[in-house]
Amino acid sequence: MFQLLLPAACQWAEEQEAIILREGVALTTSQMEDARRIGIAHPEKVRLRVVEEIPLPTHPLLRQAAEATNLISPLTAGLTLRYGIFIQAESWGERRLVVHELAHTAQYERLGGFRPFLELYLRESVTPPGYPYGPLEQEAKRIERELCAPNRTHGSNSLGVIVPYKYEGMWVFDDPAVGLMREPFVSGIDTMLEKLVASIPDADKGFRLIFSATPFPGYTVKLEWRREEYGGNWYFSPQFEMEGWLCPALFKYFDAAPRELYGRAEPKS
Ligand SMILES: [Zn+2]
């Protein structure tokens, strides 16, 4: 059965790719960056095609198989046929989805085209526990999670925001998106925060702290990296003439300790 369906699946996939390549749009600059980070060799070949519903194969057996495995349903938001990617209209513009589908494009390239990819992917989808628990699908989900972690600062010039507040006399902040709860600022950073919020009324109840690894308009504090210690990193503030230690929670926002950090404190609203 599987051997019978595979050639039909390959043929359908190739036809759909041709349609998408003809009618779709090229990746935007930021999507192109994502494609390169995922390791796609030819991101310039990729096209995205918006559709009201992901098309089902017309071949009756193939159609049945696609539905039975849940690979294509009315709820499917995206489908990748090598360099051609269908995106369901309501999900158009969702970075997470595009990243996920691009991860599949990288798999097509790595495995060597339609037949080797579809053979493996479909086999994983029909072998218990089936879709979406196969290694290829799980890899795409992992890449999607890693690249699109909420609040993670992408690239060197993007901004992060947290809202520190006082709890039991300590400056702490919550960021449920990265699993942080009452994460404290200690060892000098707390003193710097005091100075930074001196002119912000009710800062104790929470203020907005914008940060980035590169200068941004309106930044008011700059930290220079000094050294690593206890898994965290010491930074020096020229304006406060003091050092402060940032705990390993820094890596929830940056892949490596930035050489410099820029920040700005603002009232919450
Ligand atoms: Zn997938």
pLDDT, tens only, 32-71? 999 999 999 999 999 999 999 999 999 998 999 888 888 8
* Centroid of ligand 1 to alpha carbon of 79 (angstroms): 7
* Centroid of ligand 1 to alpha carbon of 105 (angstroms): 10
Question: Which pLDDT tens digit goes with each residue over 125-157?
Answer: 888 888 888 999 999 999 988 888 654 544 545
* Centroid of ligand 1 to alpha carbon of 104 (angstroms): 7
**What pLDDT score does 150 carry?**
57
With a cut of 50, say whether residue 97 has pLDDT above it.
Answer: yes
Task: Give all strands of the β-sheet with 160-162 in edge-to-edge order.
Answer: 160-162, 207-212, 260-267, 221-229, 232-237, 242-246
Q: What does pLDDT average to over the chain?
A: 90
* Centroid of ligand 1 to alpha carbon of 101 (angstroms): 6
Spell 23-49 as b/e; 16+ CB within 10 A means b.
ebeebeeebbebbeebebeebebbbbb
pLDDT level of residue 163 (50, 70, 90 thresholds): very high
* Centroid of ligand 1 to alpha carbon of 46 (angstroms): 16
